[in-house]
């Protein structure tokens, strides 16, 4: 069974540009969530999608957005990149089980460097 696939694995952008990251969940998983990991702040929740609907959103500016497609694949977009957006962006998928969430399976992440 294939795991969570994130693309691209590494990318370099300059300030002011925008970036789109992609996540393909484990087959059958309908919930996809995104997290940002930096050395200073650790792991922080960005947003979660289920059945193409945003279920929860973390405390990030509106420059961070996402969406989920009918096949459960998800993308996140960061516009007007800032140096502080340099981070490892992790995607995780799970079987949605109502309020009690199932086990989370993480992808290997997309390492974004903003110059």
Question: Which 56-75 residues touch other proteins, going by CB under 8 A?
Answer: 56, 58
d(CA 59, CA 62): 9
- Please count the other Cβ atoms lying within 10 Å of the Cβ belonging to residue 77: 13
From the list 13, 30, 55, 73, which residue makes contact with other proteins (rule: CB under 8 A)? 55
2 binds other proteins per the rule CB under 8 A = no
From the list 31, 68, 72, 74, which residue makes contact with other proteins (rule: CB under 8 A)? 31
d(CA 55, CA 102): 15
The answer to whether the CB of 72 falls within 8 A of the CB of 91 is: no
User: Total residues at the site for other proteins (CB under 8 A)?
Assistant: 28
45 binds other proteins per the rule CB under 8 A = yes
The closest alpha carbon to 113, from 90, 94, 87, belongs to 87
The pairing of beta strand 110-114 with beta strand 10-13: parallel
Which lies closer to other proteins via its Cβ, residue 13 or residue 55? 55
**Which parts of this chain interact with other proteins (CB under 8 A)?**
4, 31, 33, 35, 42-45, 48, 50, 55-56, 58, 88, 90, 92, 94, 99-101, 103-109, 111
């Amino acid at each position: 069974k294939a795991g969570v696939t994130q693309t691209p694995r590494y990318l370099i952008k300059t300030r002011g540009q925008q970036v789109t990251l992609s996540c393909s969940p484990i087959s059958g998983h309908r919930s996809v969530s995104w997290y940002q990991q930096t050395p200073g702040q650790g792991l922080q929740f960005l947003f979660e999608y289920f059945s193409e609907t945003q279920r929860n959103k973390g405390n990030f500016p509106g420059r961070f957005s996402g969406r989920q497609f009918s096949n459960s694949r998800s993308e996140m977009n960061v516009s007007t990149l800032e140096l502080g957006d340099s981070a490892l962006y992790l995607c995780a998928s799970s079987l949605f089980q109502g309020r009690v969430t199932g086990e989370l399976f993480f992808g290997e992440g997309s390492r974004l460097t903003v110059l």
